A and B are shown apart, each in its own frame.
Chain A
Amino acid sequence: MKATMRHTIRAALALLAVGTITVVLTAPALASHVVVRTAFPTSGTVGEIVPLAVDVRTPEGAPLPGTTVTYYLHMSFAGVGGEAQIGRAVTDQNGVATIGYQPRAAGLHELRMEYLPPGATAAEQVMGAFDVTGGPQLVRPSGGVDIPGINSGLLMAVLGTVWLILLSVAFRLVAIARAGGATGPAPGDAPR
């Protein structure tokens, strides 16, 4: 009887250990003392600010203010992939940390939020994702100052006026040539 009881206790302890380890491994958000939920919109549009909220509570449901949550977004560019920090927020009295993020690329956005629960020694994390559809061009090569009327048309108008006056002088010369029929003072006479 004693041996059976020992085996049973050992098995129960082993089960408990495995169960604990399993629970610990499979439910990281279900840490011993916080419950974290992400409240992301399902989709967003490029250029429009999307609120990304993370709710941190005790297992009993009481909000946990004062926890810093850091948001990381997975990006890739020119063949290099990695995580870039896109914001940091502190949970308010309702236990909610929110950042307003303006998505700049279309497609699935995978985020990782890192936070340090009160009393814990290691940071913990929670994942989230949302989809983003394309939007309008946000950054344009900037031009100058557009003052109506100050343009090349004005330059052309000024130039045209000057050349018009030169042209009318040319007409005067034509008139001189054509008036050569009428006689003037004889050559040896008074000066012209």
Chain B
Amino acid sequence: MATLSAWQERLEATALAPVSRTGARFWALVGVEVAVLGWGLYAYSVQLRDGLVVTGMRDRISWGLYIATFVFFIGISHAGTLISAILRVSQARWRTPVTRIAEFITVVALICGASFVIIDLGRPDRVLFVFAYGRWQSPIIWDVLAITTYLTGSIVYLFVPMIPDLALFRDRLTGRTSRWRAWLYRTLAIGWNGNVAQRRSLIAAIGMLMILIIPIAVSVHTVVSWIFAMTLRVPWNSALFGAFFVAGAIFSGIAILIIVMAILRRVYRLHEYVTAKQFIYLGYLLAAFAAIMIYANISELLIHGYKLEEGAGFHLRQLFLAEFAPLFWFYLIGGLIAPIVIVLLPATRTVAGVVVASILVTVAMWIERYVIVVSGLRVPLMPYESADYAPTWVEWSIFAGGLALFALLITLFTKVFPIIAVWEVAEDHNAAVTSPAPTYAAVLDIAADSAGGSS
């Protein structure tokens, strides 16, 4: 009992630490992020003044970096879906330390992704027309509906399991924190004190959400893929796009979660809770989804490449041999094959190895979205020379600003809200301590622990 209490005290102290103390390094990081974001906003103001002509997009290649980044961010948002929802439904206990950050990545990624669509509009002053004149038959409206629903659901799904931890903050931090923070925790904890009726409501709410959020998330990236698949462009005219994009979304979501968790673990000393086990298991999932992506790519490319209908030959040549070859081969080898190799080899199956694999995957998935968008538009429709596209400084700046916004929101979040799901981690710990059944899973745990060490 005493040991458990001490463990619990340590857990709570770790969870409260970021909120209680803020060092100079934090402000320096925030300063950098705000500066990059400011530069991105300046670039956007240039675009608002002069029009989209300041980008590299033209009539022949009319979508580029913005839409690629939009798809990328929406893909990342599936981190929360997988970890919080799918793993919760399948009762995988090891996920508890990472659920909170996964859910927050989802919300922030959706916000960043949605803003990139608006940035891409030629008439952003008319964005409300989407609501006033929206047509149900348009893939973009499906997108708006799905993303709005998913954003609402994710915010709720972030908030509801956080209520007990917010109550913990409210109780532990009274008098030791600023007034607005005390007010925030008191309000958001909505009077939680752990009694039976409240617990019952919480369970019911979480239960409903975790099942509901999975089809919502699947539908979100499916309709995002249908923005491409509902056109008649040869590389996009595929029935596989929906499943392909959802698999890629979960894939990139796992990778970004690994990266963010590695950073937070180092900065906030979460080594006792976010152990090597989390990284190894997420690494296994990463490898599994890399295998699914390889399968999807083979399906797409082999089916088109075997027959070589009109346009398919041009497309395969630009992907594998010519203009997009460096990017595409990097995606295949660095993004799909390397993670599998890294995770399968015991020597590289470490926290550091998994993080490297995740960085490769994140970069490769952005490249894959970029290649899908630009190469799809580059196949000539009529007898003309195919055009070329290169993003301009405006596009790169706004892209950097979007990444900075993503990082900034997460940075600020860690300072205000509990980054570990305290009550879930404690519950998992108790279950493991009081009845350590020698299951196969436990054997795997031991193997993972010894392999990963305490890095």
> Are A and B in contact, CB atoms below 8 Å, in the complex?
yes
| A residues whose Cβ falls under 8 Å from a Cβ of B | 152, 155-156, 159, 162-163, 165-166, 168-170, 172-173, 175-177, 179-180, 182-185, 187, 191-192
Instruction: Pick from B109-117, B203-211, B278-286 the stretch touching chain A.
Output: B203-211
Q: B97 at interface (Cβ–Cβ under 8 A)? A: no
Q: Which of chain A's residues have a CB closer than 8 A to the CB of B204?
A: 172
Q: With the chains together, A177 CA to B145 CA distance in Å? A: 29
Q: B356 at interface (Cβ–Cβ under 8 A)? A: no
- How many pairs, one residue from A and one from B, have CB atoms within 8 Å of each other in the complex? 84
Assuming the contacts A162-B149, A163-B149, A165-B212, asked whether A173 and B205 have C-beta atoms less than 8 A apart, the reply is: yes
Q: Mark B155-171, 1 if CB is under 8 A from A, else 0.
A: 01000100110011001
Q: B192 at interface (Cβ–Cβ under 8 A)? A: yes
**Can you report 12 A-B residue pairs in the complex whose CB atoms are below 8 A from each other?**
A172-B201, A173-B190, A175-B197, A176-B192, A177-B190, A180-B192, A182-B197, A184-B195, A191-B8, A191-B423, A192-B167, A192-B423
Q: B153 at interface (Cβ–Cβ under 8 A)? A: yes
Q: B198 at interface (Cβ–Cβ under 8 A)? A: yes
Q: Which of chain A's residues have a CB closer than 8 A to the CB of B168?
A: 192
**Is B191 touching A176 in the complex (CB atoms < 8 A)?**
yes
**Is B201 touching A175 in the complex (CB atoms < 8 A)?**
yes
Q: How far is the CB of A191 from chain B (nearest CB, A)?
A: 5
Tell me how many residues of B have a C-beta within 8 Å of chain A: 35
Q: Which of chain A's residues have a CB closer than 8 A to the CB of B156?
A: 166, 169-170
Q: How far is the CB of B185 from chain A (nearest CB, A)?
A: 13
**Is A166 touching B201 in the complex (CB atoms < 8 A)?**
no
Assuming the contacts A159-B149, A166-B152, A166-B156, asked whether A184 and B193 have C-beta atoms less than 8 A apart, the reply is: yes
Q: In the complex, which residues 407-449 of chain B have their Cβ closer than 8 Å to any Cβ of chain A? A: 422-423, 426
Assuming the contacts A176-B201, A191-B423, asked whether A168 and B208 have C-beta atoms less than 8 A apart, the reply is: yes
Q: Which of chain B's residues have a CB closer than 8 A to the CB of A165?
A: 208, 212
Q: With the chains together, A164 CA to B438 CA distance in Å? A: 43
Q: How far is the CB of A108 from chain B (nearest CB, A)?
A: 45
Q: Which of chain B's residues have a CB closer than 8 A to the CB of A184?
A: 193-196, 198
Residue among B195, B208, B426 making CB contact with A183, cutoff 8 Å = B195
Q: Which of chain B's residues have a CB closer than 8 A to the CB of A162?
A: 149, 212, 216
Q: Nearest residue in A to B12 (C-beta to C-beta)?
A: A191
Grouping DSSP codes into helix (H, G, I), strand (E, B) and loop, the B interface class, with mixed when no group exceeds half, is helix
Q: Mark B176-205, 1 if CB is under 8 A from A, else 0.
A: 000000000000001111111110011011
Q: With the chains together, A169 CA to B209 CA distance in Å? A: 8
**Is B194 touching A177 in the complex (CB atoms < 8 A)?**
no
Q: With the chains together, A163 CA to B212 CA distance in Å? A: 10
Grouping DSSP codes into helix (H, G, I), strand (E, B) and loop, the A interface class, with mixed when no group exceeds half, is helix
Q: B137 at interface (Cβ–Cβ under 8 A)? A: yes
Q: How far is the CB of A20 from chain B (nearest CB, A)?
A: 64
Q: With the chains together, A176 CA to B189 CA distance in Å? A: 10
Residue among B142, B190, B212, B422 making CB contact with A176, cutoff 8 Å = B190
Q: How far is the CB of B200 from chain A (nearest CB, A)?
A: 9
Q: B131 at interface (Cβ–Cβ under 8 A)? A: no
Residue among B137, B153, B163, B171 making CB contact with A166, cutoff 8 Å = B153
**Is B193 touching A180 in the complex (CB atoms < 8 A)?**
yes
Q: B136 at interface (Cβ–Cβ under 8 A)? A: yes
Q: Nearest residue in A to B215 (C-beta to C-beta)?
A: A162
Q: In the complex, which residues 1-22 of chain B have their Cβ closer than 8 Å to any Cβ of chain A? A: 8
**Known A162-B216, A179-B197, A191-B422; further 6 A-B contacts with Cβ < 8 A:** A165-B208, A170-B156, A177-B191, A180-B191, A180-B198, A183-B193
Q: Which of chain A's residues have a CB closer than 8 A to the CB of B136?
A: 152, 155-156
Q: How far is the CB of A185 from chain B (nearest CB, A)?
A: 5
**Is A159 touching B201 in the complex (CB atoms < 8 A)?**
no
Q: Which of chain A's residues have a CB closer than 8 A to the CB of B153?
A: 166
Q: How far is the CB of A39 from chain B (nearest CB, A)?
A: 51
Q: With the chains together, A188 CA to B422 CA distance in Å? A: 15
Q: How far is the CB of A175 from chain B (nearest CB, A)?
A: 4
Q: Nearest residue in A to B163 (C-beta to C-beta)?
A: A176
Residue among B149, B160, B198, B216 making CB contact with A179, cutoff 8 Å = B198
Among B136, B153, B163, B201, residue most surrounded by chain A Cβ atoms (within 10 Å): B201
**Is A192 touching B208 in the complex (CB atoms < 8 A)?**
no
Q: Which of chain B's residues have a CB closer than 8 A to the CB of A177?
A: 190-191
Q: With the chains together, A169 CA to B208 CA distance in Å? A: 7
Q: With the chains together, A166 CA to B160 CA distance in Å? A: 12
Q: How far is the CB of A67 from chain B (nearest CB, A)?
A: 48
Q: Which of chain A's residues have a CB closer than 8 A to the CB of B191?
A: 176-177, 179-180
Q: Which of chain B's residues have a CB closer than 8 A to the CB of A152?
A: 136-137
Q: How far is the CB of B372 from chain A (nearest CB, A)?
A: 26
Q: Which of chain B's residues have a CB closer than 8 A to the CB of A163?
A: 149
**Is A169 touching B198 in the complex (CB atoms < 8 A)?**
no
Q: How far is the CB of B388 from chain A (nearest CB, A)?
A: 36
Q: Nearest residue in A to B195 (C-beta to C-beta)?
A: A184
**Is B194 touching A172 in the complex (CB atoms < 8 A)?**
no
Q: How far is the CB of A17 from chain B (nearest CB, A)?
A: 67
**Is A176 touching B426 in the complex (CB atoms < 8 A)?**
no
Q: Which of chain B's residues have a CB closer than 8 A to the CB of A179?
A: 191, 195, 197-198, 201
Q: Which of chain B's residues have a CB closer than 8 A to the CB of A173?
A: 160, 190, 201, 205
**Is A192 touching B190 in the complex (CB atoms < 8 A)?**
no
Q: With the chains together, A185 CA to B423 CA distance in Å? A: 14
Q: How far is the CB of B219 from chain A (nearest CB, A)?
A: 9
Q: With the chains together, A163 CA to B152 CA distance in Å? A: 9
Q: Nearest residue in B to A168 (C-beta to C-beta)?
A: B208
Assuming the contacts A162-B149, A166-B152, A192-B168, asked whether A172 and B202 have C-beta atoms less than 8 A apart, the reply is: yes
In the A-B complex, the 6 residue pairs with the smallest Cβ-Cβ separation, listed nearest first, are: A180-B191, A184-B194, A192-B194, A152-B136, A172-B205, A184-B195
Among B167, B168, B194, B204, residue most surrounded by chain A Cβ atoms (within 10 Å): B194
Q: With the chains together, A48 CA to B256 CA distance in Å? A: 69
Q: Which of chain B's residues have a CB closer than 8 A to the CB of A180?
A: 190-193, 198
Q: How far is the CB of B437 from chain A (nearest CB, A)?
A: 22
